[in-house]
Chains A and B, each alone.
Chain A
Amino acid sequence: MLERADEPSLLLIAPTGGGKTLAGFLPTLAELGPTPPPGLHTLYVSPLKALAADIRRNLSAPITEAGMAIRVEDRTGDTSYTTKRRQRADPPHILLTTPESLALLLSYEDAPRIFSGLQRIVVDEIHALAESKRGDQLLLALARLQTLCPGLRRIGLSATVEDPAAMGRYLARHPDPCPIVLADPGPPPDIRMLDLPDPPPWAGGGGRYAIPAVLAQVRAHKTTLIFHNTRAQAEIFFHHLWLQNVDSLPIGIHHGALSHDQRTRVEAAMVAGALRAIVCTGSLDLGIDWGDVDLVIQIGAPKNVKRLVQRIGRANHRYNAPSKALLVPANRFEVLECQAALAAVRDFDLDGDPRGPGPKDVVCQHILITACSGPFDADQLFAEITTAGPYADLSRAAFDACLNFCATGGYALRSYDRWQRLVQRPDGQWQLRDPRAARQIRMNIGTIQDSDTVQVRLKHRGGGTPLGQVEENFAATLTPGDTFLMGGQIVRFDSLREMTLQVTKDPGRKPKLATFMGTKFTTSTKLSDRILAMFRQEDWPELPEHTAEWLRLQRQISQLPCADRLLIESFPHQGQEHICVYGFAGRNAMQTLGLLLTRQMETQGLHPLGFVATDYALLIWGLDPVVDAAALFQGSDLRDGFDAWLSGNAVMKRTFKSSAVISGLIDRKTPGQRKSGRQATFSSDILYDTLQKYDPDHLLLQITREEAMRGLVDFARIEELIGRVQDRIDHVVLPRVTPLAAPLFLEMGRVPVKGSAQERLLREETDQILAAAGLHR
Chain B
Amino acid sequence: MNDFAISFHGQKLVARPSGTLWWPDVGLLCVSDLHLGKAERIARRGGTMLPPYEGHDTLARLEVELDATQARHVVCLGDSFDDPAAATAFPNDLRSWLERLILGRTWVWVEGNHDPGPNPMPGRHLAQYDLHGLTFRHEARVGASGEISGHYHPKARLKLRGTSVIRPCFLIDDDRVILPAFGTFTGGLLTNSEVFRPLMGPKALSVLTGTACHAVPMARSNAVRT
Contacts and interface: CB of A to CB of B under 8 A. Distances in A.
Interface of A: 408-409, 411, 413, 415-416, 418-421, 433-434, 436-437, 440, 473, 476-477, 480, 494-497, 664-667, 678-683, 686-687, 690-691, 693-695, 698, 758-759, 761-763, 765-766, 769-770, 773, 775, 777
Given A759-B211, A763-B212, A477 B159 contact: yes
B144 interface: no
Given A434-B46, A664-B48, A691-B51, A683 B215 contact: no
B52 A415 contact: yes
A412 to B, nearest CB: 9
5 smallest CB-CB distances across A and B, nearest first, come from A409-B49, A682-B187, A434-B46, A419-B43, A694-B53
B7 interface: no
Contact of B57 (A409, A477, A678, A690): A690
Given A415-B91, A679-B188, A769 B48 contact: no
B216 interface: yes
A690 B211 contact: no
B165 A415 contact: no
Interface of B: 4, 40, 43-44, 46-54, 56-57, 91, 152-153, 157-165, 181, 184-190, 193, 208, 210-212, 214-217, 222-223, 226
A687 B158 contact: no
A698 B51 contact: yes
A769 B216 contact: yes
Given A408-B49, A665-B48, A476 B157 contact: yes
Contact of B187 (A415, A420, A495, A683): A683
Contacts of B47: 437, 440
A682 B185 contact: yes
B52 to A, nearest CB: 4
Contact of B46 (A433, A496, A678, A770): A433
B215 A777 contact: yes
B165 A682 contact: no
A762 B181 contact: no
A763 B49 CA distance: 38
Contacts of A691: 51, 53
Contact of B56 (A494, A694, A698): A694
A420 B163 CA distance: 41
Contacts of A473: 164
A473 B163 CA distance: 8
Given A690-B57, A765-B161, 7 more contacts: A421-B43, A664-B48, A678-B189, A678-B190, A695-B51, A759-B212, A762-B210
Given A665-B50, A678-B189, A769-B216, A495 B158 contact: no
A420 B217 CA distance: 46
Nearest to A680: B187
A495 B49 contact: no
Most buried by B among A667, A680, A758, A766: A766
6 contacts: A411-B53, A413-B52, A477-B162, A694-B56, A765-B161, A770-B215
Nearest to B46: A434
A172 B51 CA distance: 38
Contact of A495 (B46, B56, B222): B222
Given A415-B52, A416-B52, A762-B158, A773 B187 contact: no
Given A665-B48, A694-B51, A694-B57, A766 B43 contact: no
A300 B18 CA distance: 48
A768 to B, nearest CB: 10
A666 B51 contact: no
A681 B186 CA distance: 7
A695 B214 contact: no
B160 A762 contact: yes
A683 B47 CA distance: 17
Contacts of A415: 40, 52, 91
A476 B157 CA distance: 8
A665 B42 CA distance: 11
Contacts, number: 132
A476 B166 CA distance: 10
Nearest to A497: B223
B24 to A, nearest CB: 18
Nearest to B161: A761
Contacts of B160: 758, 761-762, 765
Nearest to A435: B46
A687 B53 CA distance: 9
Most buried by A among B189, B211, B216, B226: B216
Contacts of B43: 409, 416, 419, 421
A501 to B, nearest CB: 12
Contacts of A667: 48
Given A477-B159, A682-B186, A763 B214 contact: yes
B187 A681 contact: yes
Contacts of A761: 160-161
B142 to A, nearest CB: 19
A419 B181 contact: no
Given A415-B40, A419-B44, A437-B46, A679 B189 contact: yes
A694 B50 CA distance: 13
Contacts of B4: 777
Contacts of B153: 679
Contacts of B164: 473, 476-477
A342 B46 CA distance: 56
B222 A773 contact: no
Nearest to B33: A679
Nearest to B44: A419
A480 B222 contact: yes
Nearest to A759: B211
A532 B103 CA distance: 70
Contact of A773 (B40, B52, B217): B217
A637 to B, nearest CB: 29
Contacts of B188: 678-679, 682
A121 to B, nearest CB: 32
A477 B48 contact: no
A664 B50 CA distance: 10
A416 B49 contact: yes
Contacts of A495: 222-223, 226
Nearest to B159: A477
Contact of A762 (B51, B187, B214): B214
Contacts of A698: 51
B52 A409 contact: yes
A513 B186 CA distance: 33
A473 B166 CA distance: 11
Contacts of B158: 762, 765-766
Contacts of A664: 48
Most buried by B among A679, A698, A763: A679
Given A413-B52, A480-B222, A770 B216 contact: yes
Contacts of A686: 184-185
Contacts of B44: 418-419
A228 B153 CA distance: 43
B23 to A, nearest CB: 20
